[in-house]
A = this chain, B = another copy of it.
Amino acid sequence: MLSGGLDSSTCLAIARHEGFECYCLSFDYGQRHRIELDAAARIAKSLGAREQRVAHIDLRIFGKSALTDEIEVPKGREAQEMNRGIPVTYVPARNAIFLSFALAYSEVLEASDVFIGVNAIDYSGYPDCRPEFVHAFETMGNLATKAGVEGRTRLQIHMPLISMSKADIVRNAVELGVDLSLTHSCYDPDALGRSCGECDSCILRKKGFAEAGVHDPLVYRDTVLQP
């Protein structure tokens, strides 16, 4: 599963490094911006994935998330305070839906390994990013499919980033040659595609780069370009 963000891109690089042939699945789910999908396509290509498919699903019919709805994306202090509970950028049952599509895709490919870049350390408080959720999904997935029933393949959901800090993820990405200028993290980029630098996702990303001592090649809205 590849969104084109820092986490899923690093996850793909790890899967490739472990010798997997990778088939990437991205989602067009009525996001407020499509930059994410362009990033996913570029990342898949640059990391030598065999294929990248985009599943179109309309989560807007359910509304109620700042990522798909007309709710404003919280910034700065508000974004940080949000981290105490479940943030408004949470999309209802999003990872359950995404993993279900990955399950269908893996069944068609007769693949038994699904990689997801969820992270339990520097994460955003989404219930569906927790390892217990992913384990329960794996159990369900093995009961849902032909291959599981016939015992041909046993689905395994890999979460290589689960116990990494954002700084660890940045370091891994650098080590595995991820072109970080291609990744995209911002929830609320401007019309030029520049990251806001202030949303929850930008704050976590900047913190990770700073702690890892790595220069973030992204252009933020407040980036002062050197002459």
The smallest C-beta distance from A79 to any residue of chain B, in angstroms, reads 18
The smallest C-beta distance from A34 to any residue of chain B, in angstroms, reads 17
Partner among B62, B108, B143 whose Cβ is within 8 Å of the Cβ of A127 = B143
B92 and A107 contacting across the interface, CB-CB below 8 Å: yes
Q: How many residues from A make CB contacts under 8 Å with B?
A: 44
A137 nearest CB neighbor, chain B only = B140
Asked whether any CB of chain B lies closer than 8 Å to the CB of A148, the reply is: yes
Report B-chain residues with C-beta under 8 Å of the C-beta of A90.
Answer: 146
Tell me the complex Cα distance, A56–B148, Å: 27
User: Which residues A43-58 have CB closer than 8 A to chain B?
Assistant: 53, 55-58
Asked whether any CB of chain B lies closer than 8 Å to the CB of A179, the reply is: no
Interface string of A102-117 (1 = CB under 8 A from B): 0111011000000000
Interface string of A58-74 (1 = CB under 8 A from B): 11011110000000000
Asked whether any CB of chain B lies closer than 8 Å to the CB of A100, the reply is: yes
User: Which residues A141-183 have CB closer than 8 A to chain B?
Assistant: 141, 143-146, 148-150
Tell me the complex Cα distance, A6–B119, Å: 43
Tell me the complex Cα distance, A133–B101, Å: 16
Tell me the complex Cα distance, A45–B54, Å: 35
Asked whether any CB of chain B lies closer than 8 Å to the CB of A93, the reply is: yes
A97 and B95 contacting across the interface, CB-CB below 8 Å: no
The smallest C-beta distance from A90 to any residue of chain B, in angstroms, reads 7
Asked whether any CB of chain B lies closer than 8 Å to the CB of A121, the reply is: no
The smallest C-beta distance from A110 to any residue of chain B, in angstroms, reads 10
Tell me the complex Cα distance, A131–B62, Å: 27
Partner among B107, B136, B144 whose Cβ is within 8 Å of the Cβ of A95 = B144
Known: A62-B105, A90-B146, A97-B104. 14 other contacts (CB 8 A): A59-B104, A62-B107, A62-B108, A63-B108, A86-B146, A92-B108, A97-B101, A132-B143, A133-B140, A133-B143, A136-B136, A136-B140, A136-B144, A137-B140
A and B contact pairs by CB, cutoff 8 A, 11 listed: A62-B104, A64-B108, A93-B100, A96-B103, A96-B141, A127-B143, A128-B143, A130-B143, A133-B144, A136-B136, A136-B143
